[in-house]
Amino acid sequence: MRTRVLKLDPNLPDDSVLRQAVEVILRGGLVAFPTETVYGLGANALNGEACARIFDAKGRPHDNPLIVHLADPSDYTKYAECANTALFEEIARRFMPGPITVILPKKKEIPDEVTVGLQTVALRCPSHKIAHRLIELAGVPIAAPSANLSGKPSPTTAEHVIEDMDGRIDLILDGGESAVGVESTVISLKGDSIHLLRPGFVTAEDLFTITPKVMIDPAVLSQLEKGVKPESPGMKYRHYAPSALLTMVCGSEEKVISFFREKLQCGCGILCFEEDIPHLKGFGDPARVIAFGKRADLSSQAHLLFAALRRFDKMNLEHIYARHTAENDLGLAISNRLLRACAFDILELEREP
């Protein structure tokens, strides 16, 4: 299959270009498109056969359900039931359109291929102008996982999508870089409480402003025991994984920098903060040092993390050592992705006495 790439202005997308994508979606094809979080790989969510093609194109395990993207949060009543509409509507009023996904009991309109047979469906209204207008013009909801090969870091540029999907899908809409850089926050509603299944740009702290009853799923920061089924199937996979071994390094500033210097001299890769770069000069090939943002700027870390992991993939390294980041606010999402990328391999250089 030949994959076409069409460029669009992310701030003022041209409807005539978007209509070419709509045509592909409505005939059951696959279109990758930018969202504010990462690029998605979309199909008509009401067409089971088209959604099944997403799994083939990505090599996605058949027990991992897809998110359904809507143009407007009020459309949720067509596809899902909600026992606590007041809570859903407050979440929608505060955070939608935007980087949050809510899991609700599904209606029969959503085919089993989307939800892999679960009785629930994940719904999200992206705020990105290209994604929003695409869904609006299509007139159908669009099922879309991240547009990477399964197990690879999520794509934050059209170039990343081309690397993984060229020849496997019909069309890629190139709208430049995704602003956020990590996937949406995934929550489910349990009575009057919110269960946080995957952290993202809408943080636990943001959710606490709606209700004190926010539960953070244990799978967010810890490894699941064998045989335990997470509520969100995606949490059990070694995700976002670079091809090299990855280890997260914790410890005092001095110890981490001297450890990085030693490993850099041995030919390893270093995934660090921008502030670390001057301290690593002269200790090995600077091309093997990649910064993912500034230490105190969590947005820049989220924005750059997946692109950094992809750059390492091209280097054929055996081992990469990464900085550990804060776990508050957006740091919870960054730590969650890094922990999955390193399969919970954490090196503690020193313990507090």
35 counts as binding Mg ion under rule CB under 5 A: no
Q: Which residue has the tokens 């490894």?
A: 223
Give whichever of 44 and 146 is closer to Mg ion, judged by the CB atom: 146
Give whichever of 288 and 340 is closer to Mg ion, judged by the CB atom: 340
What six digits make up the tokens of 177? 């870089």
| Residue of this chain nearest to ligand TXA (CB atom) | 234
Shortest Cβ distance from residue 88 to ligand TXA (Å)?
A: 15
Q: Which of 310, 71, 44, 313 is nearest to 170 (CA)?
A: 44
Shortest Cβ distance from residue 137 to ligand TXA (Å)?
A: 18
Q: What residues pair up with 270 in beta bridges, in sequence order?
A: 289, 321
Cα 195 from Cα 175, distance rounded (Å): 32
Q: Which residues contact 240 (CB under 8 A, 6 or more apart)?
A: 152, 153, 154, 306, 309, 337, 340, 341
Give whichever of 39 and 292 is closer to Mg ion, judged by the CB atom: 39
Q: Which of 222, 251, 258, 247 is nearest to 351 (CA)?
A: 251
Give whichever of 164 and 174 is closer to Mg ion, judged by the CB atom: 164
Q: What residues pair up with 215 in beta bridges, in sequence order?
A: 195
Give whichever of 217 and 276 is closer to ligand TXA, judged by the CB atom: 217
- Tell which positions 121-180 bind Mg ion, by CB under 5 A: 146
Q: Which does 144 bind (CB under 5 to 8 A by kind): Mg ion, ligand TXA, none?
A: ligand TXA
The helix/strand/coil state of 166 is: coil
Shortest Cβ distance from residue 103 to ligand TXA (Å)?
A: 5
Residue 176 Ramachandran class (φ > 0 left, ψ -120 to 50 alpha, else beta) = left
Q: Which does 122 bind (CB under 5 to 8 A by kind): ligand TXA, Mg ion, none?
A: ligand TXA
Cα 282 from Cα 259, distance rounded (Å): 14
Give whichever of 115 and 146 is closer to Mg ion, judged by the CB atom: 146
Q: Which does 65 bind (CB under 5 to 8 A by kind): Mg ion, ligand TXA, none?
A: ligand TXA
Shortest Cβ distance from residue 232 to ligand TXA (Å)?
A: 4
Q: Which residues bind ligand TXA (CB under 6 A)?
A: 35, 37-38, 40, 64-67, 101, 103, 115, 118, 120-122, 124, 144-146, 183-184, 186, 198, 231-235
Question: What secondary structure does DSSP assign to 233-281, as a single string?
Answer: GGGGS--S--SSEEEEEES-HHHHHHHHHHHHHTT-EEEE-GGGHHHHT
Shortest Cβ distance from residue 46 to ligand TXA (Å)?
A: 16
Shortest Cβ distance from residue 41 to ligand TXA (Å)?
A: 8
User: What residues make contact with Mg ion under the rule CB under 5 A?
Assistant: 146
